Structure 1
């Protein structure tokens, strides 16, 4: 290995599900002494944290799931321009490896790296291989996965799969050693409701109505923290009025890791980041997948956790105040079920995912044994 540390390029952009694992990997690689660069689209200007400190190159990137001939043509042109831009950048910075995190923002950089013969890998956050990653899967050397089983992977590509897990934020890992909180027969019940980065109207509509249906002996013990869309906050406050429930409502919680650690039960969407955080900490959840996600990947994520015994999947069309109230009444009156489910969730977690992903990336670099 040369005296100069190797440069590794990250191709990432778009939603938190694609950015969070890139952020976690970047922290690990920097700690190991590697140099990093970020190849992203125009949205990369908004990144903070570790990614915001990296040398950043912005390129054109067109969506690959657009509908209509005009949209497809525009996307193809932007993709072509992005690949040309990425090839120029790669020639200039000469990375030893490039890893992509899905989403259309990663496609030009990964395609250009493959054409240049640079060692490459992609990370798939969901239990369904995303469309961008499907375009790249045959070209890259390794496909890192968050889940043990991932659909839409061609059989011939199976030897490329490596189950690393989904990297989570350092703030989540810091709560890993906090045991599942004991539920006393008369003590408070901590309930956390997360709707993803944009909140979820269905949770704002159903959860308060379900809790209002519980017997007073349970309602008086519940302390709920619920994330709502800003436009839903007033309505949810009114819904909790008169129920006797201690409710903390906001459109954003800056202390989600601490709230997760305190929670006896979480009700949430089934995005990859949320699932990874729940299983890393070992907290039981009722997962309500977003039904309009491309390829219904949230349902696949939720099924994977439910199959491990760490959560309950409730599809949105059957997520009603009546069905949720019945489920909550059963769980809160049989806390041993929550304790058992929490342990199953923890057992399925991959707290060392960022380290495992870093090992995979470093292993792509010829003659590299670690920094």
Structure 2
């Protein structure tokens, strides 16, 4: 039975924001809710399969400069997005609006607050993002993935709940697939991915690192690697020359399955990546995105490393020689890889999506609103 009023999800147009929103949309659909999505133009690569009745493009902007002209452009576009969001909410009449971070969540959440519609945000990282930091001042509820979460305003803590990061059905489908550590003569299965900047760095560091491996390891290796279009031909040629079996592509739609079949994963440490690796239970070598404003990826990777589920190496420390040493150490220590896989799996919160959906239903029923003046316009 379909609930009367829809739930509107708002998310930035990257996989890190859209994947947990996808997981929630799937769970709400199972509970009989209609879901719609508000996002930006960047989401085209991810939202074609998003389980929503409709996907709405809302203008937004990130603060990219501090000059008066840059700030004026940013706020003008956000203002235009706010007016578009007001029109959208008046037309859709959602019961609740849930934000998943990124500046595209600002117009829908602020518009919902203005129209007295219950709101919540979900923070995937161990560090509160800047958009969520702003919205946490007045949303009704705040769902967190890590405890503690850096930069969470103490005044907002009473409205916060620890849910973990929801992962998609396509990921949870592999949670019960056992990890198969390398055997002394079998194939060595390596998966490498990491967004546009991660793909560029890994395309530079992986070939010389793998070529530095001893021949008996190199000949047993099969690498599946995400790479930019402009790097595909060069990488394919280098791996062929080094006699390394390789599958190189700009994007993998079946990434959860590839995670499940890998024996080691090398990746960036975005929140969704970390959550999915934990959900499936695969050992990983994480290379946080450097120069991030809040070092959120470094915090995510550090939390996983502290739990024993993987290893964190900063990009400026990951030379080809260092990477080759780590790969040789790990691939010749199957018990170490198996131990990390088990610990990563133990760190997961597989019921995160159920906890978040419960929170949405509480707001939809008008329970535990959490803000004293929730009925007043912002």
Is this a same-fold pair by TM over 0.5? yes
Displacement, 1:4? 5.2
Pair 1:131–1:222, CA change in 2 (3 A): same
Equivalent in the alignment of 1:313: 312
Between stretches 327-336 and 155-164, larger displacement belongs to 155-164
* 1:50 is the counterpart of 2:89: no
* 1:233 is the counterpart of 2:232: yes
Counterpart-to-counterpart distance in 2, 1:319 and 1:23: 33
Equivalent in the alignment of 2:119: 120
Counterpart-to-counterpart distance in 2, 1:151 and 1:139: 18
Pair 1:140–1:183, CA change in 2 (3 A): same
Between stretches 132-141 and 229-238, larger displacement belongs to 229-238
Displacement, 1:126? 1.5
Equivalent positions of 1:323-342 (< 5 A) are 323-342=322-341
Displacement, 1:17? 1.2
* 1:255 is the counterpart of 2:272: no
In structure 1, the gaps of 5 or more residues are: none
Moved >6 Å (runs of 4+)? none
Between stretches 206-215 and 62-71, larger displacement belongs to 62-71
Counterpart-to-counterpart distance in 2, 1:210 and 1:176: 31
SS at match of 2:101: coil
Displacement, 1:83? 2.3
Counterpart-to-counterpart distance in 1, 2:234 and 2:279: 33
Pair 1:191–1:71, CA change in 2 (3 A): same
Counterpart-to-counterpart distance in 2, 1:126 and 1:159: 19
Counterpart-to-counterpart distance in 2, 1:61 and 1:225: 35
In structure 2, the gaps of 5 or more residues are: 368-378
Pair 1:4–1:289, CA change in 2 (3 A): closer
Pair 1:90–1:234, CA change in 2 (3 A): closer
Equivalent in the alignment of 1:152: 151
The CA RMSD over aligned residues, in Å, is: 2.3
Deviations 1:49-69 (A, max 9, x none): 234x42344433232454322
Deviations 1:32-78 (A, max 9, x none): 11122333345567731234x42344433232454322111111122
Displacement, 1:303? 1.0
Equivalent in the alignment of 2:375: none
| 2:3–2:34 CA contact under 8 A, matched in 1 | no
SS at match of 1:289: coil
Pair 1:264–1:68, CA change in 2 (3 A): same
Equivalent in the alignment of 2:70: 71
Deviations 1:201-243 (A, max 9, x none): 2211212211222222222221111111111122222332443
Counterpart-to-counterpart distance in 2, 1:129 and 1:325: 34
Q: TM-score, normalised by structure 1?
A: 0.92
Q: TM-score, normalised by structure 2?
A: 0.90
Between stretches 195-204 and 270-279, larger displacement belongs to 195-204
SS at match of 1:105: helix
Displacement, 1:313? 0.5
